[in-house]
Amino acid sequence: MDRILVTGGTGYIGSHTVVELQQAGYSVVIIDDLSNSNREVIDGIERITGIRPDFVEGDCTDMQTLSKLFADYPDIKGIINFAASKAVGESMQKPILYYRNNLNTLLNLLDLMGPNGVKGIVFSSSCTVYGEPDENPVTEKAPIKKATSPYGNTKQISEEIITDVINAGAPFKSVILRYFNPVGAHPSAEIGELPNGVPQNLIPYLTQTAIGIRQELSVFGDDYDTPDGSCIRDYINVVDLAKAHVIAVKRMLEDKSDAKIEIFNLGTGNGVSVLELINVFEEATGVKVPHKIVGRRAGDIEKVWANPAYANEVLGWKATSTLADTMRSAWAWQLKLRERGVM
């Protein structure tokens, strides 16, 4: 089977995608600088799939590292690019880091694809490109709003770069996937999300509170124009999300579409509030999450959820996990981290 280069493949979504790729029969080589992950993730992938993916420790912003990788692996046919910095708040403090990491990585990959005979690249984009949408659920035709953070801007600029490069006649295709809010862990609890330091995202903060690492979860605002006043998001199971990448890669490599660029929303189609999510977690696991309402977090969107109909129809993909199962998987992963003494 064809070999796929997974940049950022030891990260959260990357590692789950490597599992699905290997289970679908693809050979994988991962490149990751381990800036927000660690080598043990590769052991987890091997325990789940029985196959140890090839791994190169390196930084994709370094052209020489990437050139050597393509020379060492002349059989790479597709790329899934997860290598990026992804913390919204940090991007406000360190814009140069974000622009350099996220954009140079993409430019280097696009530059090397043609000469190395790579047929396509799947790009990790985000619902953040829609900003505060005029209507929900959001389709792919919704207008792109001005980004409110350097992180969000890197996603918008990256989509434009890919479009410009392909329109200029590049000999490859791209599938751009706009994720809503990825959550949960592999059902085996061998891999999951492992944020550095104090988590900024809801689910890792919630599970760390439930297990007692954090005292209390702050719910950022209960005065939004939503039924219970807390923000609404579309929480998508990370394994469901990973499976969409395998379909996207196959679609490009097997030329199943005439289009050279395709864009898909990946979400469940269900909007869930922060308070509802806490309830689902508590009911699914039987574990209480101490929480309090605090003020709004700067930059938060009030409500956003996907219309995934286009992905459902064209990719034949659908998010199938229940939110309760997803919450149980996140909890099982947190318990596993404790068992291993990680945290």
**Identified binder of ligand UD1 from the candidate list 92, 220, 229, 309, rule CB under 6 A:** 220
Fill in the per-residue mask, 90 to 129: x = in contact with ligand UD1 (CB under 6 A), - = not in contact: ------------------------------------x-x-
d(CA 285, CA 327): 8
Annotated active-site residue 26? The verdict is: no
Query: Is residue 191 within 8 Å of 41, Cβ to Cβ?
Result: yes
Six-digit token string for 3: 């070999």
Q: Does 231 bind ligand UD1 (CB under 6 A)?
A: yes
User: Which residues in 44-63 contact ligand UD1 (CB under 6 A)?
Assistant: none
* φ and ψ of 265, to 5 deg: -80, 130
User: What tokens were used for 127?
Assistant: 């619902």
Q: Identify the active-site residue in 12, 26, 130, 151.
A: 151
Residue at shortest CB range from ligand UD1: 231
Stretch 273-292 residues interacting with ligand UD1 (CB under 6 A): 274
Q: Applying CB under 6 A, which of residues 56, 83, 194, 219 lies at the interface with ligand UD1? A: 219
Whose structure tokens read 């990585």? 105
Report the C-alpha gap between 123 and 52 in whole angstroms: 24
* Maximum CA extent, the chain: 55
Q: Contacts with ligand UD1 in 294-323 (CB under 6 A)? A: 297, 300-301
Number of residues binding to ligand UD1, judged by CB under 6 A: 22
Measured from the CB atom, is 2 or 222 closer to ligand UD1?
222
Shortest Cβ 203–ligand UD1 spacing (Å): 7
- By the rule CB under 6 A, 213 interacts with ligand UD1: no
Q: Are 333 and 207 in contact (CB under 8 A)?
A: yes
Residue 205 found at the interface with ligand UD1 (CB under 6 A): yes
Task: CB nearer to ligand UD1: give 45 or 88.
Answer: 88
Minimum distance from residue 56 beta carbon to ligand UD1 (Å): 25
The reply to whether 237 sits near ligand UD1 by the rule CB under 6 A is: no
- Smallest CA-to-CA distance from 228 within 278, 268, 187 is with 278
* Residue 72 contacts residue 49 (beta carbons within 8 Å): no
The CB-side HSE value for 262 (13 A sphere, CA atoms) comes to 22
Determine if 88 is a binding residue for ligand UD1 (CB under 6 A).
Answer: yes
- Closest residue by Cα to residue 29 from 62, 61, 64, 58: 58
Give the separation between CA 32 and CA 260, rounded to whole angstroms. 27
3-state secondary structure of 185: coil
Q: Which residues bind ligand UD1 (CB under 6 A)?
A: 86-88, 126, 128, 149, 152, 181, 200-202, 205, 217-220, 231, 233, 274, 297, 300-301
List the catalytic residues. 151
